[in-house]
């Protein structure tokens, strides 16, 4: 962190303030920050300083939808999960998996939506989620509240049930992993699921 801050001292005050403003924006925004609004995101040279400061905090820049957001580095996120930090409960994970299946995976498989943006989704309902016989309505409502409070689902007590802004902060590797897990959940005995399990096993061994 000290090295990153020392690096900023080599910038003129205008550039330094631009870097700090960009960091504040990408850390707080719910949607990708338009690079045209911030010199430190538009200029690759100054953006390198943004990346440097974020990296010192275990964070990184994520580009998507014509803008930028910040997120934890994958290895830092893995370390936090190993410590139980930010880990969702089993029921929250089950509800989230159902939401992703109903709102993104199934509509995309049927050609009703396209693209790689998780927020391009067809909202689902509590009634549809209740079709899962192992989850009660109370379980679902509690999990929806927890997931919405974290930005994992769209906010609002009575809002549409669909992926929220945190999905815009996923790295390419995280996105691929979630899609892999959805395939395994939806078609556990398929050839593709077997290929995915084998690849994950090889990756973990490496």
The CATH number for 15's domain is 1.10.10.10
Question: Is 85 inside a domain boundary?
Answer: no
Percent of the chain with pLDDT strictly greater than 90: 57
Task: Indicate whether 2 pLDDT > 60.
Answer: no
Are 127 and 155 in a shared domain? yes
In this predicted model, which residue has the larger pLDDT, 58 or 119?
A: 58
Question: Is 80 inside a domain boundary?
Answer: no
| Boundary of a domain, candidates 47, 73, 99 | 73
Question: Is 115 inside a domain boundary?
Answer: yes
Burial class (CB in 10 A: 0-12, 13-18, 19+), 193: middle
Question: Is 125 inside a domain boundary?
Answer: yes
pLDDT of 25: 97
Question: Is 83 inside a domain boundary?
Answer: no
Question: Is 18 inside a domain boundary?
Answer: yes
What ranges make up the beta strands (E) of the chain? 33-34, 59-64, 67-72
**Chain segment 12-24, per-residue pLDDT in tens:** 889 899 999 999 9
pLDDT of 157: 62
pLDDT of 185: 79
What is the full DSSP assignment across 97-108? Answer: HHHHIIIIIHHH
**Chain segment 109-121, per-residue pLDDT in tens:** 788 887 777 878 9
pLDDT of 77: 92
| Boundary of a domain, candidates 22, 46, 73 | 73
* Number of neighbouring beta carbons within 10 Å of residue 62: 18
How far is it, in rounded angstroms, from Cα 34 to Cα 167?
17
- Domain span holding position 32: 2-73
| Boundary of a domain, candidates 73, 99, 132 | 73
Residue with tokens 């078609």: 187
* Number of neighbouring beta carbons within 10 Å of residue 173: 10
At residue 204 the predicted structure's pLDDT band, cuts being 50, 70 and 90, is confident
91-100, 149-158, 172-181: which is most confident: 91-100
Are 37 and 108 in a shared domain? no
Task: Indicate whether 94 pLDDT > 90.
Answer: yes
Are 195 and 115 in a shared domain? yes
Average pLDDT over the chain, rounded to whole? Answer: 88
Split into its structural domains, the chain has a count of 2
**Chain segment 145-176, per-residue pLDDT in tens:** 999 999 999 987 676 899 999 999 998 888 88
Are 41 and 107 in a shared domain? no
């Amino acid at each position: 962190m000290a090295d990153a801050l020392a690096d900023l001292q080599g910038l003129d005050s205008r550039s330094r303030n631009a870097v700090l403003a960009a960091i504040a924006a990408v850390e707080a925004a719910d949607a990708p920050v338009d690079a045209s609004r911030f010199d430190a995101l538009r200029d690759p040279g100054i953006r390198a300083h943004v990346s440097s400061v974020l990296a010192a905090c275990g964070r990184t820049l994520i580009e998507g939808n014509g803008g930028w957001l910040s997120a934890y580095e994958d290895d830092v996120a893995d370390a936090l999960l190993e410590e139980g930090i930010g880990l969702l409960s089993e029921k929250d994970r089950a509800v989230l998996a159902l939401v992703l299946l109903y709102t993104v995976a199934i509509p995309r498989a049927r050609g009703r939506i396209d693209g790689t943006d998780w927020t391009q989704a067809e909202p689902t309902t509590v009634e549809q989620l209740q079709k899962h016989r192992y989850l009660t309505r109370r379980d679902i409502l509690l999990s929806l509240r927890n997931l919405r409070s974290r930005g994992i689902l769209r906010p609002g007590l009575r809002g549409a049930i669909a992926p929220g802004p945190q999905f815009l902060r996923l790295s390419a590797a995280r996105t691929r992993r979630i899609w892999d897990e959805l395939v395994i959940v939806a078609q556990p005995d398929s050839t593709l699921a077997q290929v995915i399990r084998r690849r994950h096993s090889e990756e973990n061994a490496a």
